[in-house]
Structure 1
Amino acid sequence: MDPLEKIFGKTAQMTVLKNLIENQNEPTYLSGIAEETGLSNSSVSRVITPLIESGVVLEKPLGKQIRTFQLNMESEAAKLIVDFHNKINQLLD
C-alpha cells in the first residue's frame, strides 16, 4: 500500500493527485489520468475540479474540447504537497 494511502485512505482525489505528482513535469489529459489510475473519466473530472480551483493543478485548453492538466509548481500549496509526498514516502517506504 502506498504511504499516502496508509495515512489518508484511498480516495479518487488522492489517486488523481498522486498521479499528477508522479508525472509533475508532463501535462496530461483527463482520459490519460483515468487510464493510468483505473478511475472513470467522470470520477477524474469530479475530483480534479477542486484541485484546479485551489490552484494546485493547472488546466489548459487544447483546442475546443480537449483540456490538459498539470501540477502547478508555481503554487506554494503544490510545492508543499510534493515535498510532503516525497518525505512521507522516504519515511514509510
Structure 2
Amino acid sequence: MNNKEMSYLEKIFGRSAQTLVLENLINKKGEFTYLSGIARETGLSHSSVARVIEPLVESDLVIEKRMGKQIRTFTINEENPVAKLIIEFYNNLSALQDEK
C-alpha cells in the first residue's frame, strides 16, 4: 500500500499519529525498530512518534527496549491479549481490503 492509499484502519479510526504508529509496528511485528525509523516510515515528526508511543508502552501494547542511555527501540507486544486482538482485527481488515 502506498502512502496516499488509506488503510481500512485509517478509514475506520481516522488518520491519527497513534493509528499510524500502531499500524507501522504491526507491519513490523517480531522486530524492534527505532523512533526515527517509525517517524521516517509514517511521515510523522520524531516528537509526534515519541508522544504517541508513550501510552502504547504504558498500556503494554508496545515493548520498549533501551540500547544504551539514549537509543530506544520498540516492537508490538504480541503476547499482550489486547495487542493480539488488534493484530487479528488489522489482519482481517487488510484481507478484506486485499479482496477489493
* TM interval, short-chain normalised: over 0.9
Report how many residues are paired.
Answer: 93
Match of 1:40 in 2: 45
Q: CA deviation at 1:79?
A: 0.6
Match of 1:29 in 2: 34
Alignment of 1:1-93 (within 5 A): 1-93=6-98
**Alpha-carbon displacement from aligned partner over 1:14-55 (angstroms, at most 9, x marks no partner):** 000000000011100101100111100000000000100110
- Please, which runs of 5 or more residues in structure 1 have no aligned partner? none
**Alpha-carbon displacement from aligned partner over 1:38-86 (angstroms, at most 9, x marks no partner):** 1000000000001001100000110011011001111011111000001
TM-score by length of 1: 0.96
Identity %: 61
- Please, which runs of 5 or more residues in structure 2 have no aligned partner? 1-5
Structure 2: distance between partners of 1:40 and 1:67: 16
Please provide the CA RMSD for this pair. Answer: 0.8
User: Hey, which bits of structure 1, 4+ residues long, moved more than 4 A?
Assistant: none
